[in-house]
Amino acid sequence: MPTAHDIRGTVFKHGSAVLLARIVGPEGTAVTTSDLASVRYSVYQVDPVDPDALTAVEGHAEVSLTVADVFYDTLQTGGPWSVDETGYNFRHDLPVDSDEAFPIAGADYQVRYEVIPTSGQKLVFRFAVRCI
């Protein structure tokens, strides 16, 4: 089983974020668009005293995305990916044109994705971001 961990980063107040990841299934191989039925995301402000207390950011709760818009069938390498030479298969340019995703400097946010595969259990991955 792959190890689960938050992907950490920093964002600017009132800014957007380009979120990249390599998402693998239970067998440890990178998922492809044909493996996935749906994907949605939410942005939450994290309470600094109680990390289980999450407040959804308006306009960024349970937002459905088109699988082919955020997942690649082959691993992508090169900029902006700098983690390793293997590459990423997920990219989401978080939209902030109508609703701010990160409105408070000094706050911590969680960007949470739920992916429903064509078969098997849902996949969950998260980005833990600090707003400056």
Q: Are 46 and 108 in contact (CB under 8 A)?
A: yes
pLDDT of residue 2: 61
How do residues 70-121 score in pLDDT, each as one tens digit? 999 999 998 899 999 999 999 999 999 999 999 999 999 999 999 999 999 9
Which of 125, 109, 118 lies closest to 14 in space, CA to CA?
Answer: 109
Single-letter amino acid code for the residue at 92: H
Exposed/middle/buried for residue 65 (C-beta within 10 Å: 0-12, 13-18, 19+): middle
Which of 124, 65, 130 lies closest to 94 in space, CA to CA?
Answer: 65
E strands present in the chain: 7-11, 17-21, 36-46, 54-56, 63-65, 71-76, 88-94, 108-117, 123-131
**What's the angle, vertex CA 32, arms to CA 121 and CA 11, rounded to 5?**
85
How do residues 23-68 score in pLDDT, each as one tens digit? 998 888 999 999 999 999 999 999 989 988 999 999 999 999 999 9
Single-letter amino acid code for the residue at 126: R
Q: What is the mean pLDDT of residues 7-13?
A: 95
pLDDT of residue 26: 87
pLDDT of residue 112: 98
Q: What is the mean pLDDT of residues 127-132?
A: 97
Q: CA-CA distance, 37 to 118, in Å (whole number)?
A: 5
Q: Which domains, from first to last, does the chain contain?
A: 7-131 (2.60.40)
Confidence of residue 1 (pLDDT cuts 50, 70, 90): low
